[in-house]
Structure 1
Amino acid sequence: MDDAGVAVEAVARASYARLISFLSARSGDVAGAEDALADAFVAALRTWPAGGIPSKPEAWLLHAARRKLIDRRRRERTRDGGVPVLMGLLAEAEDLSQALAFPDERLKLLFVCAHPAIDPRVHTPLMLQVVLGLDAVAIAAAFLTPASTMGQRLSRAKAKIRDTRIAFEVPAGVELERRLSAVLEAIYAAYGYGWEGADGMDAERLGLAEEALFLARLLVELLPEQPEGLGLLALLEYCEARRPARRSAASEYVPMSEQDTSLWDARRLGEAERLLATAARFGKPGRFQLEAAVQSAHVARRRDRRADWAAIAVLYEGLVRLAPTFGALVGRAAAVAEARGPAAGLALLDAIPADAVESYQPYWATRAHVERRLGREREARAALDVAVRLTRDPAVRRFLERTAAATGTRG
């Protein structure tokens, strides 16, 4: 790849989401902004090799994409006054090309994607695509949806934003509360996707985790009195703090119970504790605060050599009442198994509808662990076989395969 190609790729990785957000906020047309920016990247690949890489490549792309938007609007002849408005915005782009100080509109776009006029099933996928840059095929796989179906849903949602002229703004009052949960969920989903791939050194997915962290920090900066935003950022900081211990020197997976706590990032843990304490002062507990509190209880192992399982089990009880997701139900069962015995944990796992967790890997990995503690090795081996089949991370799969090989058929 030549220098121009390298420069285009670097800008795409670093600034694509900011450029899309800025263009969408000014034009009100997400799909049009995506098409215009794609054309701008093509133009850059065609012209930069001969003309040289501009000193401010983001500004060059912004300017080129703005012209593409205007050309498209002229061709479509839609919306009275649309072209003059965009012409004025083009002049703004000229000014920005001198200073490259264009504002970050990603938070506004997140709230646009969570608008009640848009199908709730598409809120998170839409945010993952237009704000965080995940492609539709990867989103479809994550949501166990055919790629064609997901593509159609995303296209309809973008058309809804354009045709109903949804305002690009951070809402207030009741509307803020309504949309904030969807925004938090999208950031968490993006981080989770990136977290799964980061230890395998997948640069794109690691970048997604970093992007999600940035958006969580941005949310707290702009909405400092929203305790669930503080809780989410605390949760992500706890997860990041443990990253150095999640793989051995040989890049093998290390479960949390076996991690060297001296490798946990003390600075990040301190920041997570501070954020969680700040959120607690509002007296409005929520899902992400409770999930962060679970992580805080795990951190007790740094001091006491074991996690505070009694506290973790109580926290999961509260979490299940607020947000009875499969993750919360399985987490509660695992915590109860440690705090009150494996039989109690297995009873909670048995209470989860089997068809609902048929393809949920954490359920089967947890069930195998509990069955082993009960000495039911035949059942543990069967659960491990399912967990191995459902595991995408090669390192985790190897860990489970070794566990399965050490599990007999007694019982």
Structure 2
Amino acid sequence: MEINQVIEETARDAYGRLLSYLAVNWRDLQAVEDAIGDAFLSALETWPNGGIPDKPEAWLITAARRRLIDRARRTRISDNALQTLHAMSEDIQLQTTSNAAFPDERLKMMFLCTHPAIDPMMRTPLMLQTVLGIDAVRIASAFIVKPSTMGQRLTRAKAKIRAERLTFEMPDADEIPYRLDSVLEAIYAAYGSGWDEAASVDSSRHQLAGEAIYLGKMLLRYGLREPEIYGLLALMLHCEARRGARYDDEGNYIPLYDQDCKLWDQRLIMEAENHLHTASQAGRMGRFQLMAAIQSVHAQRLLTGRTEWVAIAQLYEGLVRIHPTLGAFVGRVAAVAEAYGVEQGIRLLEAIPLEEVVNYQPYWALAGHLYKSLNRVEAARSAYSRAIGLCTDAAVRQFLDRQASALDA
């Protein structure tokens, strides 16, 4: 394997772990990011001559730690801080000479990103970029804003951290439940990014979906028993259970209503149902539990052969009340159209302000489907055209193109 490829794969797979391990201990995000960047640059310069180390992650984290020590000495930082770095050095040496993996500190780092001085609106995007390695373009897509806007916001957030010399501290145990929502939002957004455009089982985005599920389960290992953690896990697992049915052998996209439910992973469905049942015992309903419950109703088609759209529509009504996102509103439209008729769905669809959905692809895909059902050919053609233009998944784009072409049949 070429050295550049090894470095690229290590950066993609391990950057978040490296950054979190160092930042949780050092708590100067900018300094750690700079040190890791220098370590990767050093790898590009030295590995071609010295060869790829047996443990690339260990080599990189050792190099980054040395740069932090150099920086600390140059800036005459306190003896206590240097002691922290030297203690990290001993830990790194232990990890390097054993078969143990580096401690995964990403969850701690995500909680650190909920620092009170950080804009609440930027906490989740900051986690997605620094801890999970998602680029600003994909983060912008998740939050339905322009990539340039998201990039500027992330830059400002990091500039504030640097200018105000913010150091990260873990919240007290009694504070964690109040700071959990941003962490759950980041894990969910990471899963969504891994779910989109993941036709290939080898894709890096598919790997990101697995990492999101892993982080959700790690929250339980921390001893946190908030019902929304179980709800989020149930949601992700229900979706993951259907991954193998989303595309046929030729790579063509298959929408949920046309999927062969016998291809769904029953083991994952049962695991999801167990988590959802555990969440329900707390008696505190949240948005992730409602979203998981919607997916649970879909999963029942495996047993009954039909989809209970009235139940799904009712769950969406609850969702838009407690968490009125654009995705929830569009989902409600689809459910109402199936449960009570396309005309009612269209009324709800057209009640959503157009300025809010200009760049929201699911809205236009659904609009094309509903207008097509009512034989409103021009409206359907226009909606499909917008949906195709906004679609980044080639297989979904081809599916929508086939739907649009059928208007002329």
TM-score, normalised by the number of residues in structure 2 = 0.91
Instruction: Work out the CA distance in 2 between the residues paired with 1:141 and 1:345.
Output: 25
State the match for 1:145 in structure 2: 147
Which amino acid in the other structure matches residue 46 of structure 1? E
Q: Which moved more, 1:397-406 or 1:374-383?
A: 374-383
Which amino acid in the other structure matches residue 115 of structure 1? H
Q: Offset of 1:372 from its aligned partner?
A: 2.5
Which amino acid in the other structure matches residue 46 of structure 2? T
State the match for 2:167 in structure 1: 165
**Would the alpha carbon gap of residues 102 and 386 (structure 1) be closer, same or farther in structure 2, given more than 3 Å must change?**
closer
- Aligned with 1:197: secondary structure? coil
Matched, 1:217 2:205: no
- Aligned with 1:316: secondary structure? helix
Instruction: Work out the CA distance in 2 between the residues paired with 1:120 and 1:284.
Output: 23
Sequence identity (%): 49
For residues 95-127 of structure 1, what are the alpha-carbon distances to aligned partners after superposition, in whole Å with 9 as ceiling and x for unaligned?
333334542211110111122310122212211
How many residues end up aligned between the 2 structures? 405
For residues 233-274 of structure 1, what are the alpha-carbon distances to aligned partners after superposition, in whole Å with 9 as ceiling and x for unaligned?
111111111111111111111110001111111111111111
Q: Offset of 1:45 from its aligned partner?
A: 3.4
Matched, 1:262 2:262: yes
Instruction: Work out the CA distance in 1 between the residues paired with 2:29 and 2:239.
Output: 32
Q: Which moved more, 1:149-158 or 1:306-315?
A: 149-158
For residues 321-380 of structure 1, what are the alpha-carbon distances to aligned partners after superposition, in whole Å with 9 as ceiling and x for unaligned?
110001111111111111111111112112211211122111121122222233333322
Q: Offset of 1:226 from its aligned partner?
A: 1.0
- Aligned with 2:147: secondary structure? coil
Q: Which moved more, 1:190-199 or 1:311-320?
A: 190-199
Let me know the Cα RMSD of the aligned residues. 2.3
Which amino acid in the other structure matches residue 56 of structure 2? P
State the match for 2:238 in structure 1: 238
Equivalent residue runs for 1:10-409 within 5 Å: 10-78=9-77, 81-99=80-98, 100-140=100-140, 142=142, 143-146=145-148, 148-156=151-159, 158-159=161-162, 163-167=165-169, 169=170, 171-173=172-174, 175-199=175-199, 203-408=203-408
Q: Offset of 1:138 from its aligned partner?
A: 4.1
Instruction: Work out the CA distance in 1 between the residues paired with 2:47 and 2:234.
Output: 43
Instruction: Work out the CA distance in 1 between the residues paired with 2:151 and 2:283.
Output: 44
Structure 1 gap ranges (5+) = none
Q: Which moved more, 1:332-341 or 1:359-368?
A: 359-368
Structure 2 gap ranges (5+) = none
- Aligned with 1:406: secondary structure? helix
Instruction: Work out the CA distance in 2 between the residues paired with 1:300 and 1:94.
Output: 51
Instruction: Work out the CA distance in 2 between the residues paired with 1:353 and 1:245.
Output: 34
Equivalent residues of 1:313, 1:335 under 8 A apart: yes
Instruction: Work out the CA distance in 2 between the residues paired with 1:387 and 1:8.
Output: 37
Equivalent residues of 1:111, 1:171 under 8 A apart: no
Equivalent residues of 2:388, 2:397 under 8 A apart: yes
For residues 31-77 of structure 1, what are the alpha-carbon distances to aligned partners after superposition, in whole Å with 9 as ceiling and x for unaligned?
22122122222333333444444343332322221111111222233
Q: Offset of 1:394 from its aligned partner?
A: 1.4
**Would the alpha carbon gap of residues 360 and 9 (structure 1) be closer, same or farther in structure 2, given more than 3 Å must change?**
closer
For residues 150-178 of structure 1, what are the alpha-carbon distances to aligned partners after superposition, in whole Å with 9 as ceiling and x for unaligned?
45234225427x823220x25422x3222
